[in-house]
Amino acid sequence: MRIAVHAFDGITMFHLSVPLLVFGEVTRQGLADGWRVQVWTEDGHGVRTVEGLRVDEVNGPDVVEEADLVVFPSWHTDFRPTSDELSRLVARAHQRGARVAGLCLGAFPVVDSGVVGERTVVTHWAAASSLEDRRASTTVDASSLYLDHGDVLTSAGTASAIDACLHVVRAELGSAAATTVARHLVVAPHREGGQAQYVERPIPDPEKGGQLGPTLDWALANLDADLDVEALAGHAGMSRRNFNRRFFEVTGATPARWVLARRLDRARGLLENTDWSIERVARECGFASTVTFRQNFASAFSTTPTSYRKRFETS
């Protein structure tokens, strides 16, 4: 399998190293013959990484013409448009049957090339809205770790590239090979959940709520209370109809969705910073039962409260 990994001035060493490490391990462990990984640049000249190191042993774009897999491990952080020549190069490779992978911000040149069409892609959650604006026909999933359409693969932010590359090994050589590579890299062969659990969701500023500011502040301080529309509207001294309309204007969400999101935010903080039982966390955050809490947490973050705690606890 011939793999062409794109590099550019300003790429991070981590992003560039992931496909080199994962796919290179296939050869080092003797898991398959003919796996060849080559780094290439648009002009065939070396690049300087964002850390200041030079990478000079690179190939030109001609290696793409023979590649079975073309990998964009990242892209410029200013999301600059892909050059027409680079887009044509990717499109030609895809047309002759090569797979194309955009890891993290590497989804941008993949989308620019047009090979995705109207299918769904994923990228780093912080860049999802920018990628959505890139091409109207493309849908961006801000929650998955990676998405594979067979001919086109995209992955979420940074470390998700490891998951995506292990997925390629699994698809090409089987689960045993992927597990062997993962063990030697000391990473999980397959992580549960998606990147929603990593998304930073800042607590809203009640002072920006205008007339509703005191009510938003009160709700945040009493998440364990019954915060239905009647209670919130009553605190604001407004009719239910007027409150619903004004609330959506201020927050962009219905009262029920806003309260649920705030309760889940609070739960994440408690799971990270306390050793409270799941039952106590559910109770403190206003969930009617532990079952309801687990269901809502899994729906929002694609993982369980217990798994989330193991991954993010700070104590």
The Cα 179–Cα 25 span in angstroms is 12
The Cα 90–Cα 113 span in angstroms is 6
- Whether residues 215 and 182 share a domain: the answer is no
- Whether residues 122 and 217 share a domain: the answer is no
- Whether residues 53 and 108 share a domain: the answer is yes
pLDDT of residue 189: 62
pLDDT of residue 83: 96
CATH number of the domain that 241 lies in?
1.10.10.60
Contacts of 68 (CB under 8 A, 6+ apart): 1, 2, 3, 98, 99
Structure confidence by residue, pLDDT tens digits, 160-183 = 899 899 989 988 998 788 888 988
- Whether residues 56 and 189 share a domain: the answer is yes
pLDDT of residue 198: 45
Structure confidence by residue, pLDDT tens digits, 3-57 = 999 999 999 999 999 999 999 999 999 999 999 999 999 999 999 999 999 999 9
- Whether residues 193 and 154 share a domain: the answer is yes
Q: What pTM value is reported for the model? A: 0.66
- Whether residues 64 and 184 share a domain: the answer is yes
pLDDT of residue 268: 84
- Domain containing 147 equals 2-198
- Whether residues 169 and 257 share a domain: the answer is no
Closest-CA residue to 26 (of 171, 198, 148, 208): 171
- Whether residues 45 and 184 share a domain: the answer is yes
How many structural domains is the chain composed of?
Answer: 2
Whole-number mean pLDDT of the chain?
88
Give the domain-ending residue among 198, 230, 246.
Answer: 198
- Whether residues 28 and 164 share a domain: the answer is yes
- Whether residues 116 and 214 share a domain: the answer is no
Does the structure show a pLDDT above 70 at 255?
yes
Does the structure show a pLDDT above 70 at 208?
no
- Phi first, then psi, for residue 22 (nearest 5°) are -65, -50
Does the structure show a pLDDT above 80 at 1?
yes
- Whether residues 186 and 294 share a domain: the answer is no
Give the domain-ending residue among 198, 214, 240.
Answer: 198
- What is the chain's alpha carbon radius of gyration, rounded to the nearest angstrom? 23
Identify the sign of the CA torsion 110, 111, 114, 119: positive
Give the domain-ending residue among 198, 219, 237.
Answer: 198
- The stretch 273-301 carries a mean pLDDT of 92
Pairing mode, strands 47-48 and 54-55: antiparallel
CATH number of the domain that 136 lies in?
3.40.50.880
Helix (H) or strand (E) holding 250: helix 240-251
Structure confidence by residue, pLDDT tens digits, 68-94 = 999 999 999 999 999 999 999 999 999
Structure confidence by residue, pLDDT tens digits, 209-249 = 467 888 998 999 999 999 999 999 999 999 999 999 888 88
For the chain, the maximum distance between any two Cα atoms, rounded to a whole number of angstroms, is 73
In the structure encoding, which two tokens stand for residue 269, read together? 């903080």
**Helix, strand, coil abundance in the chain, percent, nearest 5:** 50, 10, 35
- Whether residues 179 and 301 share a domain: the answer is no
